[in-house]
Amino acid sequence: MADARVLLAFAALIALALFYIERGLPAAFAPFCAAGSVMAAATVFACFGLAVAGMWAVYLACLAAAGWLVFRWGVQKRALPKLGFAFWFFVAVGLFFILLLWAKRPMFTEWDEFSLWGPAAKLLKVFGQLHTVAPIGWNWPQPSVPGMPVFAYFFQFFGTGFSEWQVYAAYDVFLVAAMAAVLAPFGRKGWNIAAPTALICLLTPYVFRHYRPSTAVSPVYLDSYVDIPLGFAFAAALAIWFASRPAGGAKPRLSEMLPFGLALAVLCLIKDIGTELALVAAVLAFTDTLFVKRADAPRLKNRAGGAFARLGIGLGVIVATFGGWSAYTGVVLEVDRSVDAGGRLNIPLQEIPAHFLSELFSSEKSEFFTTVTGGMAREFFSVRGRGSMLGGGIAVVAVIFGLLALAAFLTKDRQHRRRCLCFGLFSTLGFVAWQLLITMSYLYLFKIEQSLGLESYDRYIYPYYIGWLLAALLLLGQAVAGEEARETPVWWRAPLGKAVALGLAAAVALRVALLIPAQYTVFGVDKSAYNQRRAYAQDVEALTGLLDPAGRTFYVNSADNGLGWLTLCYQMLPYQLDYSVGGGTLERQLKNEDGTLGDKRQVNAAELEAYLFESGCDVVYLEQADGDFREQYGALFTDGMAAYFDGETDLYRVVRTGSTEDGDAVCYLEPMVGARAHY
């Protein structure tokens, strides 16, 4: 049942998509809209503490959709709709990824898969609660939006046990659903341009996620981070807008705004910064309606009403989604997301733009400001920057504008030419705004060492690149499809567009093959690549079998950089791992007089004894302790840590004996002989 539930979820998603198609939604949009509906509905239920009931409601809705289809197509003898290349691409490739991941059973390996995205998904399955309220054993006020973990929960709702490969399966199905939306211009006869475009879509994550020669498993399609899904959701939102060809002067139509509004909501639910991408998409839809002439609204004043109405609806969806989640976190976590900015200067979020502009136009900029902004500029203009396999950001932009120019050149449709021009102009302004947003994040939100090294720059920048590039590909596809549909097409226009798409697909495939050997991708990686994680999981399972389910475990790893504690905390769930004075390093962060964080210092034996006495920890787990640790804290152990260093145990029981007359905590640690947690 634990494996079959993934196929059940995929079948439910297909049924919901077919229902949307039967009700008039274009087949290419249906998979993404089905996935978005599941994500949005289940998230709303989960915010009210009804995650389990909400998922039952979602599955019942999918079952009702399937029943409706049987009734309409069977009992009423209604003909099956024409599904087209995009829908069958979703079904075939989605099923392929599910079966591939089932065979390989990959596991989490990346840092944030243990610090955020993995626990968020696991807590939902284990407790049936969002990560904001589920017990995790330490102060974890994470206000991150839960869209993708909720969607992963849909794929393993039934049965018991949490499976990491099923999280990957859910994320990959979501990616394929977004790719199907990008393939919207191509009908059944357009396979000769649809196929290379589909290949480009499949390889796009490699282009932006892994752009240097690989000697280890590439995380593409084996990644629970949400940056790649965010970029593809952005592409799907733009594809839904451009492929629906809304009427410029008419009032907004329900069939037009529902899928587009859903795509905007999905962007806001995937990641906080997705709200900015949703705003860009809404503005691009507005400018497309306002400035691109149409037969029914040749004048600007005729299009203005429809344009502003569409913009208002889009902004309403964004405000409702972002504002709703902010209100929820404000109540549950008591976190004011508009004030608690943190960062280097600890200024409120609403003051950051003004502070940035004042320093930008100041004649005396700080060294930190010039270092960060200079680094951002170098990354964009660098030939071998961290932007993509193509090179730095300037190379990506050049390819995008080349595709837009070709799309405008290959069509005789003046409306489509204006659309390419309008999109090129305003999407560039959106990219400038995106760059400024990332720059301000480095300047005012991140830690200084993260900002100076532009840590994770590629992950923050490529969601926009992905959506931008795939939208340009879609406009090229529309140009080719439109030219083929003309009564008297120019013989060379469509073949040229197809040749460019095929050549780009071949170039991307060659580049990926040269940089990333097949054995390091999801397609060729062997099960043995996860042997270490599997062994660790077995060790932790043995460890938790020795613990009290209601207890707390104190963690010690004197050489840990944080990853060890995060991994164990995630792996032990639902057992509770204490934060353990600095995540097991026994270093306490000091605060300066002005409230900012200062240096770290090692706690002494008396402080550790007091912490163990007061924290409620009943067991100490020594994953790694050295001679210095023994010298400093060995007096707390009844055997002087002899059992640990002799290899007899990793676990020590905390025994409280009360407190002294002056109120000092008194406890000691006795070995649980034979309790060896790892081998």
* pLDDT for position 679: 45
Answer for the pair 358, 352: CB distance below 8 angstroms, yes or no: no
Burial 291-311 (b: 16+ CB within 10 A, else e): bbbbeebeeeeebebbbebbb
Which phi-psi region, left, alpha or beta, contains residue 266 (left: φ > 0; alpha: ψ -120 to 50)?
alpha
* pLDDT for position 245: 65
Spatial strand order in the sheet of 665-671:
576-577, 552-557, 619-624, 651-659, 665-671
Q: Average pLDDT for residues 11-26, to the nearest whole number? A: 94
Closest CA to 172 of 224, 117, 129: 224
- When comparing pLDDT for 111 and 20, which is higher? 20
- When comparing pLDDT for 80 and 160, which is higher? 160
pLDDT digits (tens, 9 = 90+) for 229-286: 999 999 999 999 998 765 555 667 777 889 999 999 999 999 999 999 999 999 999 9
Distance CA 112, CA 134 (A): 18
Q: How far is CA 570 from the centre of its chain?
A: 18
* pLDDT for position 344: 65
* Phi then psi dihedrals of residue 586, to 5 deg: 60, 30
Label each residue of 514-536 as H, E or C. HHCCHHHCCCCCCHHHHHHHHHH
What's the burial of 441, exposed, middle or buried (CB within 10 Å: 0-12/13-18/19+)? middle
Closest CA to 603 of 638, 579, 567: 579
Answer for the pair 14, 92: CB distance below 8 angstroms, yes or no: no
Q: How far is CA 574 from the centre of its chain?
A: 24
Closest CA to 260 of 170, 181, 201: 181
438 is written with which tokens? 């990332």
Q: Could you say which DSSP state residue 363 is in? A: S
Geometric angle at alpha carbon 567, from 542 and 667, rounded to 5°: 65
Per-residue pLDDT at 173 exceeds 70: yes
Q: How far is CA 459 from the centre of its chain?
A: 10
395 is written with which tokens? 């190379």
The whole-model pTM stands at: 0.94
pLDDT digits (tens, 9 = 90+) for 413-426: 888 999 999 999 99
H/E element holding 620?
strand 619-624
Label each residue of 35-74 as H, E or C. HHHHHHHHHHHHHCCCHHHHHHHHHHHHHHHHHHHHHHHH
* pLDDT for position 208: 92
- When comparing pLDDT for 241 and 72, which is higher? 241
Task: Flag the least confident range among 293-302, 445-454, 495-504, 547-556.
Answer: 293-302
Distance CA 417, CA 410 (A): 9
Per-residue pLDDT at 315 exceeds 70: yes
Per-residue pLDDT at 572 exceeds 90: yes
Structure-token match 């795509």, residue found: 263
Enumerate residues 6+ apart whose C-beta is below 8 A from 569. Answer: 114, 119, 136, 137, 138, 555, 577
Q: Average pLDDT for residues 121-146, to the nearest whole number? A: 87
Model confidence at 340, pLDDT cuts 50, 70, 90, reads low
Answer for the pair 315, 322: CB distance below 8 angstroms, yes or no: no
DSSP secondary structure of 195-238: HHHHHHHHHHHHHHH--S--SS---TTS---SHHHHHHHHHHHH
Per-residue pLDDT at 538 exceeds 70: yes
Model confidence at 352, pLDDT cuts 50, 70, 90, reads confident
* Phi then psi dihedrals of residue 2, to 5 deg: -65, -30
> Among residues of the chain, what percentage have pLDDT more than 70?
91
